[in-house]
């Protein structure tokens, strides 16, 4: 069985948690859930890919800036929630 890298697993977990919570807040139809998940995952990837960091000394498990990934995910989730899908 193939092992998943810790960074990949953490990004997937953060995106899934953020998308599920956004769907609870703003979701009206089930077809919005994949859109929310994609927006959250893209936000996490942007934070990780560009190496965004706030000027605080926060831990980064597996090299993932968790606070920045969550903030970027929610920023894109807000944009996705405003789309008429």
* Predicted local confidence at residue 85, as pLDDT: 59
Closest residue by Cα to residue 16 from 75, 70, 59, 65? 70
Q: Give the tokens for residue 14.
A: 């953060």
pLDDT digits (tens, 9 = 90+) for 12-68: 999 999 999 999 999 889 999 999 999 999 999 999 999 888 888 888 898 899 999
Q: Give the tokens for residue 3.
A: 């092992």
Residue 59 near residue 30, CB atoms below 8 Å: no
Q: How many whole angstroms separate alpha carbon 74 and alpha carbon 69?
A: 9
């Amino acid at each position: 069985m193939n092992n998943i890298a810790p960074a990949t697993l953490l990004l997937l977990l953060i995106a899934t948690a953020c998308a599920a919570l956004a769907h609870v807040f703003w979701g009206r139809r089930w077809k919005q859930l994949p859109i929310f998940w994609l927006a959250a995952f893209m936000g996490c990837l942007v934070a990780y890919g560009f190496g965004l960091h706030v000027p605080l000394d926060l831990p980064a498990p597996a090299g993932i800036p968790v606070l920045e990934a969550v903030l970027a995910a929610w920023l894109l989730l807000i944009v996705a929630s405003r789309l008429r899908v």
